[in-house]
Amino acid sequence: MAENSGEQSPQSDKDQNRDSVAAQSETTSRAPRQSVVGGLVSSVKYLQDAHAEAGAIKLRKSDKATWVLLVIAGVLLIAALFLQNQKTTVTIIGDVLVAVVLFAFLAMRFGVVRSLSARQAVLTWQLIVGSFILGLYCAFNSLLIAMIYSGTLFH
């Protein structure tokens, strides 16, 4: 049987990070709320500091594959501008490749949600949903602008 000598086991990096986040959230929960712009500026500065503190993060092999596939998809979409005979086929292949790369990129990172506290996970999910809605807004407005300039929206 193991005896308890009163010594505490050293904390792992994950435990230290959680303690740090908990202490920080206690501090920020007491601070008055900032304006939307002030909060955005503070968040951007925090992310810059976090990136500087984390240093260079090495890319996994799957991340490198994702970037290579994204570059190939981009080249295909640009090539579609110059290939008149195969324009539709090349555009569809490029579009499908971009969709596969984006879904793979998101799926590979979605597991990190399990390592967050319940509150952090919910806030992260809200950011994901907000980003999706922003993407829909951009896509809709791009289509609207294209229809206006092509003359198909208003006759």
pTM over 0.85: no
pLDDT at 51 over 60: yes
- Per cent of the chain over pLDDT 90 is 15
pLDDT at 3 over 50: no
Average of per-residue pLDDT across 4-33? 52
- Mean pLDDT, all residues of the chain: 77
Q: Where are the domains of the chain?
A: 57-112, 116-155
Do the beta carbons of residue 153 and residue 147 sit within 8 Å?
Answer: yes
Average of per-residue pLDDT across 42-50? 85
Alpha-carbon distance of 72 to 94, in angstroms, equals 8
pLDDT at 23 over 80: no
pLDDT at 37 over 60: yes
Alpha-carbon distance of 112 to 21, in angstroms, equals 16
Question: Which helix (H) or strand (E) covers residue 59, if one does?
Answer: none
Sign of CA dihedral 30, 23, 34, 112: negative
Alpha-carbon distance of 64 to 70, in angstroms, equals 10
Between 150 and 26, name the one with better pLDDT: 150
Between 155 and 123, name the one with better pLDDT: 123
Tens of pLDDT, residue by residue over 74-132, are 888 788 788 778 888 888 888 888 888 888 878 877 888 888 899 999 999 999 899 99
pLDDT at 136 over 80: yes
